Amino acid sequence: MNKITPMMKQYLEIKNAHEDLIIFFRLGDFYEMFFDDAEKVSHELELTLTGKSAGLEERIPMCGIPYHAASGYIDKLLEKGYKIGICEQLEDPKAAKGIVKRDIIQIVSSGTVMNDDMLNKTDYNFIASITDFKNCYGISYADATTGEIYAFLMEHDTSKVVSEIVNLGIKEVIMTENTNKNIYEILKNQFHLTATITDITTDKYESVYKDLTDERYIISVKHLIAYIADNQKRDLSHLQKVIIRQTKDHMRMDVHTKRNLELTETLRLKERQYSLLWLLDKTKTAMGARLLKSYLLNPLVDKNEIEYRLNTVATLINEFILKSDLEKYLTDVYDLERLSGKIAFGSANGKDLLQLKNSIKILPKIKEILTKINYPKNLETLDELYNLLEKSIYENPPVSTKEGYLIKEGYNVELDELKVLRKGGKDFVAKFETEERERTGIKNLKVGYNRVFGYYIEISKGNVKEVKEDWGYQRRQTLANCERYISPILKEKEALILNAEEKIVEIEYNLFTEIRDEVKKYIPRLQTIAKIISEVDVLASFATISEENNYVKPEITEDEICIKESRHPVVEKVINAEFVTNDIIMDKKTNILLITGPNMAGKSTYMRQMAIIAIMMQIGCFVPASSAKLPIFDAIYTRIGASDDLVSGESTFMVEMMEAGNAITSATDKSLILFDELGRGTSTFDGMALAQAIIEYIHQNIKAKTFFSTHYHELTDLNETLKHLKNIHVSAYEEDGKITFLHKIKEGPASKSYGIHVAKLAKLPNEVINRASEILKVYETKEESRDTKIQETLPIDELIPKKNKLEEELDKIDPLETTPMDALNILYKLKKISKEN
């Protein structure tokens, strides 16, 4: 076997140290991939797979991409779950002795990407850490681009942890070695998240977690920070203090509820358009758009905070001229959160600092408006930072920081002198061209420049015969239409010009990095400004939407719901007819609304609009109604729709029961429950029995506000035994065998079902419709003759077996928290109870 080449040996050493990465190995103007990496990348990106001599018996697989176009290729690989190691040349190949030094300068993964081209401007890019403790999981998550970090604890429940990770929109997850491997497998294989198992940790960036007292939070956050730092290999000084997320701080909604209510995307097409987010988003900044989504997925439960937002929205509606000016100014504010991240990382260029300067420039005008509307938070204007950027950075800087043209005249004396010298040289070149045309008589003579020959004189083929030896021209290049020459005078000036140019670029780069480092000191203040701007942007968006659509300010009650002429905010915008409004009334004595009526009549829409109105109020927005009074809900649980969970292989009925089970085991008397046609996934009598049992359990035990739609008309008799249940129905009008849906909610149960009429609307064949009508008459005759009715039973709480004292004491025991002495005392106590029983 031949000896492997030194460069390939260098590659293999780097690859062996990072086996989980696709290595982008820099060779000149290309990133090259070799061996298995080349085969994977060529397949995923549809690139040509070639071979390269590496000293082995056979050529090794190889593919490559231009380094300047790498972002697009990296983005595609990230979407497919790969992680990329950027291996750069660490020295100038011309100055290198032997093999050019190379190493990984950055690891790019879906949760740590910083490139603007690979990020969704209006969405967070969260990466999460799962740390397994003895009795719970510690979960922390962050957006590396904005510096925000959150942490919370969760019980040892795989399905709940997976649900929460998906619910948060996490892009990448890392977990400790001792974490349940099922979590890793589900997130990686079913939800296609980038997932890594590692016990990495760090003691750096203590300021992020120094205020925490619970060691579990600290360990979890250090695990996350260490991974981000190891990937980025850059400064993370923009990381903010950890925010501890408590379940009680926000309305609880699981991933099914958010999907069923179409909060951020539609059920069918999974698109943003026609979701509630699509409707509410009139924000003017990327920061505001991200915050709006966060508001929508995490509604408030604190009355004071909700009223603070509602009152601010009301003020903005009343001060419509000031609001209009505010929105105009917000349009000129760039993404201060992500700009701060780039400044901390050292990747901000001249255009980024120019965007920062232009954003700061508008702050005094925004502050003036906020003062006029008595906005309580103080917005800094950072005049000193604006002045620094104004006097230093060019108005139209290049993307690269190593090409010059970054720093304004007057900022640095040495730089100004060099620019004068450069300008003098370029003026000389222009003057030289004019003089040479006059001296030689060749009117189309040109003086040009390229990196190979420097400055040259170009003469067309037709005039080459005019060139005289005493002009001192020396031929350097022959092209199809011209000849290129150099001259001693031009070469002398070229040296002065290029030396000045090289020195200018070097000084400008050094000055730029100094300015960027100075700007870095302002990051905490910039992040505070960004939070204020984001909040104001979202509340102004709520004001605009509320004003445009005639929404009203809701009133918060303790228990009562009284919403007059309620509407579904999205449906009313997309239908081609006038939306039929409905009242939603639940007094203190009513906890359950049992809804009957034909399919397609509007039961599901009615239920959804109740939930959406509650969410809109709790994020601080006005609501679609003529008046609205409703309580604050601590959670919303839904079971709407009947699609199978094909990913996990669960049937429609199993999914129904799991979602219903989650609701009735987690809900409180402050929750909102929406059950749509529960029980239809099984046989008629099984479904009816389960539906009644669940209604009774909610009525007797949970007492949550519940909307329960059903096609089991027999259940409408429950109002005779359940005093907090009320029947309502969606009305329909029938004439000459034709049905008209009125979409109007009325009190009492529906008189009949209209399933066959719906089948007519769906264009089923007449033979099928007629036969179904005959069969229905037979069933109805049998039903009348039997005169059946759901039997009244004891209240369900009396049917549930009660635990004895011994069982109750056993439930209280936590083995992980029990000392040997505690165990002896508990055993004595249990023995005593046993004797008493």
Domain ranges in the chain? Answer: 6-108, 116-245, 281-382+522-548, 413-516, 555-753, 805-836
193-202 pLDDT, tens digit each = 999 999 999 9
479 by Cβ neighbours in 10 Å (0-12 / 13-18 / 19+) ranks as exposed
Q: In terms of Cα–Cα distance, which of 4, 72, 62 is closest to 35?
A: 62
CATH number among 3.40.1170.10, 3.20.80.10, 3.90.1570.10, 3.40.50.620, domain 6-108: 3.40.1170.10
> What pLDDT score was predicted for residue 646?
33
283-297 pLDDT, tens digit each = 999 999 999 999 999
* CA dist list (Å): 762 to 705, 737, 765, 772: 34, 15, 9, 14
Q: Is 657 annotated as a binding residue?
A: no
Cross-strand bridge partners of residue 707: 593, 674
For the chain, what is the mean pLDDT? 89
* CA dist list (Å): 193 to 73, 117, 221, 348, 461: 19, 20, 20, 29, 63
559-572 pLDDT, tens digit each = 999 999 999 999 99
Q: What are the strands, taking DSSP E only, across 655-737?
A: 672-676, 705-709, 725-735
> What pLDDT score was predicted for residue 57?
78
Q: Is 118 annotated as a binding residue?
A: no
Indicate the SS3 state at residue 557.
strand
570-617 pLDDT, tens digit each = 999 998 888 999 999 999 999 999 999 877 778 999 999 999 999 999
> What pLDDT score was predicted for residue 685?
72
pLDDT exceeds 80 at position 827: no
Question: Which tokens hold the place of 537?
Answer: 């942007």
Q: Is 597 annotated as a binding residue?
A: yes
Q: Is 831 annotated as a binding residue?
A: no
Q: Is 599 annotated as a binding residue?
A: yes
Residues in CB range of 267: below 8 A, 6 or more apart: 259, 260, 641
Cross-strand bridge partners of residue 85: 23, 107
CATH number among 2.60.40.290, 1.10.260.40, 1.10.1420.10, 3.40.920.10, domain 281-382+522-548: 1.10.1420.10
Tell me yes or no: is domain 555-753 CATH 3.20.20.10: no
Q: In terms of Cα–Cα distance, which of 356, 261, 330, 348 is closest to 299?
A: 261
Q: Mark 4-33 as b/e (b = at least 16 C-beta within 10 Å).
A: eeebbebbeebbeeeeebbbbbbbeebbbb
- 116-245: CATH number: 3.30.420.110
pLDDT exceeds 90 at position 732: no
Q: Do 281-382+522-548 and 555-753 share a fold?
A: no
> Could you give the CA distance from residue 347 to residue 112 in angstroms, rounded to a whole number?
14
382-417 pLDDT, tens digit each = 999 999 999 999 999 998 898 889 999 999 999 998
Q: Is 607 annotated as a binding residue?
A: no
Q: Is 601 annotated as a binding residue?
A: yes
- 413-516: CATH number: 1.10.1420.10
Q: Is 598 annotated as a binding residue?
A: yes
Measure the CA angle with vertex 762, ends 758 and 764; round to 5°.
Answer: 100
